[in-house]
Amino acid sequence: MSKTNNATNQIGLEKSDMSEVIAKLNSLLSSYHMFYINVRGYHWNVKGEHFFTLHPKFEELYTSLQVEIDVIAERILTLGGTPLHAYSDFSQHTSIQEDKNVKDGNACVKGVVTGLQSLIAEQREVSALAVESEDQGTADLVDDYVQQQEKLIWMYNAFLG
């Protein structure tokens, strides 16, 4: 087992390599928060014939996002960083735009698909950087999320027809 020194963090990874991974993870954390806020809005505001189908699906999704947000923040801490935690920081570092006052079920689902696509693209970048930095833990984490989210995209697109 490698010993921690001034050049490595608590899990033996080079601090200099982790600074960029931590920055990318903080951007991803910001995107997750913005997507979470959007999905909560879809849950609260969806109207129409698919209300009883979509309302609980959106709740299921934002509940899952809450857990993933926490895991990403804890990964940042494990790597020796500080997770962003203010909305002002999230809004500056996110790849996802606010989606306000959306009520139509299909528009909400399209917003979910777009948000998931953005998260996947961002997570693929994080994974590539993590692998390059020999941070297999981060790569595995985001790769698992990508796999789950790719399936969700397929399912939400099936709803859209």
Q: 79 vs 6, 15, 20, CA distance in Å?
A: 14, 8, 11
Q: 61 vs 57, 103, 105, 108, 109, CA distance in Å?
A: 6, 17, 15, 12, 11
SS3 content of the chain, % helix, strand, coil (to 5): 75, 0, 25
Q: Which pLDDT score is estimated for 62?
A: 98
Q: pLDDT digits over 104-121, tens only?
A: 999 999 999 999 999 999
Q: Which pLDDT score is estimated for 6?
A: 81
* Domain annotation for the chain: domains and CATH numbers: 15-160 (1.20.1260.10)
Q: What percent of the chain has pLDDT over 90?
A: 95
Q: Which pLDDT score is estimated for 1?
A: 42
pTM over 0.85: yes
- The label of the residue with tokens 């801490």 reads 77
Amino acid found at 20: E
Written as six digits, the tokens of 68 are 């993933």
Q: Is the pLDDT of residue 134 over 60?
A: yes
Mean pLDDT to the nearest integer, 39-51? 97
Q: Which pLDDT score is estimated for 4?
A: 52
